[in-house]
Amino acid sequence: MRFARSVGGEHHQLAMIPFVILGTGGNCVDILDTALALNDRLGQETYRCIGFLDDNSALAGQRRHDVPVIGPVARASTLGDVSFVNGIGSTRNFWRKPSIIAAAGIPRERFLTLVHPSATVSRFASIGAGSVLLQGVVVGSGARVGDHVIVLPLSVVSHDAQIGDYTIVAGSVCVNGAVNVGRCCYIGSGVQIKDGVTVADHTLCGMGSNVLQDVGPRVVVAGNPARVLRALEMA
């Protein structure tokens, strides 16, 4: 992450960072909004979104809030000195995030980590490359958020919890202390995960679920308390 340091109430100037967002959906617009909010907080245009990339050819040339759709995801590797943020991922394809990012051909160091100004992150927490924390997110001490994770508004990642790479945490989720969420998971809106519980890789927790015990890999769970509904279809 890049931060502006403040001396006497004045920010040091930071070089402008051009970046591209992978995808055009709602999360992608929220990523754009986060970058603009950071510019507002810093009092300068530190982040400039120069385009979206989307494989839907019908979107080419369209604009999202004055930012153009400049081509498919495969074009990423042909772009020059720009950074990237991935916004692709939903309940329909969250397990495909690693392959989507790999297909873009972008090295890890070219992905931005963006934290909305209204989010609170402990100085003793870590946030991985390409991850995004949206409005009102709280990350506690000792927590680790992996690479390419997106945490939607008003969610809490409590002390010593771990969120694996490529996972999506939807809005108003509470990941309690020392929880371990695996890679490529989708934690639905309003989910509560009891302290110390492990949610294994490639798991979908349905919205509003209360997860009170460990969950195995590649399953869909839901309910209060959460129970396994079926195996996750990863076609």
Domain chopping of the chain, boundaries: 6-110, 114-231
Report residue 13's pLDDT band, with 50, 70 and 90 as the boundaries: low
- Comparing 8 with 183, the larger pLDDT belongs to 183
Query: In the chain, where does DSSP find H-type helix?
Result: 26-42, 97-104
Residue 15 has a pLDDT of 86
Check whether 24 has a pLDDT greater than 90: yes
Residues 63-108 pLDDT 10s? 999 999 999 999 999 998 999 999 999 999 999 999 999 989 999 9
Residues 41-58 pLDDT 10s? 999 999 999 999 999 999
Residue 51 has a pLDDT of 97
Whole-number Cα distances in Å, 174 to 187, 194, 200, 231: 10, 9, 17, 24
Check whether 11 has a pLDDT greater than 70: no
Residues 184-228 pLDDT 10s? 999 999 999 999 999 999 999 999 999 999 999 999 999 999 999
Q: Which fold has domain 114-231?
A: UDP N-Acetylglucosamine Acyltransferase; domain 1 (2.160.10)
What is the distance between the alpha carbons of residues 159 and 139, in angstroms, rounded to a whole number? 7
CATH, domain range 6-110: 3.40.50.20
Check whether 10 has a pLDDT greater than 80: no
